[in-house]
Amino acid sequence: MTVIAAACIQLRSGKDTSENTARAEDLIRAAAGDGATYIQTPEMSNVLVRSREELIARIDVLERDLFVTMARRVAADLGVFVHVGSVAVLAGGGQVANRAVLIAPNGAIVETYDKVHMFDVDLPGGESWRESSTYKAGEQVPVVDLPFGKLGMAICYDIRFPGIFRAQSRLGADILTAPAAFTRQTGQAHWHVLQRARAIENGAYVISAAQGGRHEDGRETFGHSLIVDPWGDVVAELDTDAPGHLVAEIDLARVSKARARIPAIANERDFDCRMTRAFREEPA
């Protein structure tokens, strides 16, 4: 039986990467002080800037990113895994990546993941987003075999695309992740049900650290960082949009128990889908 203490760091990132990094370091250290050995930060941990030009002026390549450099140093100092939910980094050719980074207790980067699904939506009230105009979409989705279990990496809007999480679960992922900067209105409507649905249908833990509150660039995010167990129960939640951290024990034996009760992955079959046109009588 593998039991670990997992943590979510909730942020309210602004435009200053140095300030965001310093605040996050304090919360990461606090979570480790509470016993966490796997610590996850939210999407866009290093900076939240709506203007593409301003964003590019404030970021760097991954190797020089202030937030990732801090996370590597702190992971080695504390002997913990730090999962940077994502950072905006320069990706060459004038492109930007929304990139998650998993860091080992020795400070080494274990894996990275570039967000696959771009949040291109028009919401009620005039709120509109076009991530594809700023970010280069990723093409590969990883599962990382860690000492305590197998972890699948995803980011925010990916949570609405169940195929990612099913593919990861087929590869044995015990823990699924979707660190996020969910908008307030979509979070109020769908945040909890989406996290719980991905956990239930895959019989896996879902851990999602979140951005929360009103940010310097004017956007509002939902907060409510969550850890959901393989049966769909919320193990821990920051029931607010304020910066902070939560720590909860997760027992990976519950994954095999859930999958034995409802063997949805084992029972799944390939199928074809077709459209049938109903008979329509031609007018006389």
pLDDT in tens, 92-107: 888 999 999 999 999 9
Catalytic residue among 15, 25, 43, 281: 43
Is the CA virtual torsion 214, 85, 71, 204 positive or negative?
positive
Q: Is 115 considered catalytic here?
A: yes
Mean pLDDT, rounded, for 24-53: 97
pLDDT of residue 125: 85
Mean pLDDT of all residues belonging to the chain: 95
224 located within any domain: yes
Residue found by looking up tokens 């999407």 in the block: 43
DSSP letter, residue 93? T
270 located within any domain: no
Number of domains in the chain: 1
Residue found by looking up tokens 């851990």 in the block: 207
273 located within any domain: no
pTM as predicted: 0.95
Catalytic residue among 8, 136, 150, 156: 156
Per-position b or e across 81-116, b if 16+ CB within 10 A of its CB:
bbbbbbbbbbbeeeebbbbbbbbbbebebbbbbbbb
96 located within any domain: yes
Q: Report the CATH number that the domain containing residue 53 is assigned in CATH.
A: 3.60.110.10
Q: Is 43 considered catalytic here?
A: yes
199 located within any domain: yes
Question: Residue 57: which domain range?
Answer: 3-263
Q: Is 15 considered catalytic here?
A: no
pLDDT of residue 277: 87
- How does residue 122 score in pLDDT terms, banded at 50, 70 and 90? confident
Catalytic residue among 8, 115, 136, 150: 115
The dihedral region occupied by 198, where left means phi > 0, alpha psi between -120 and 50, and beta the remainder, is: alpha
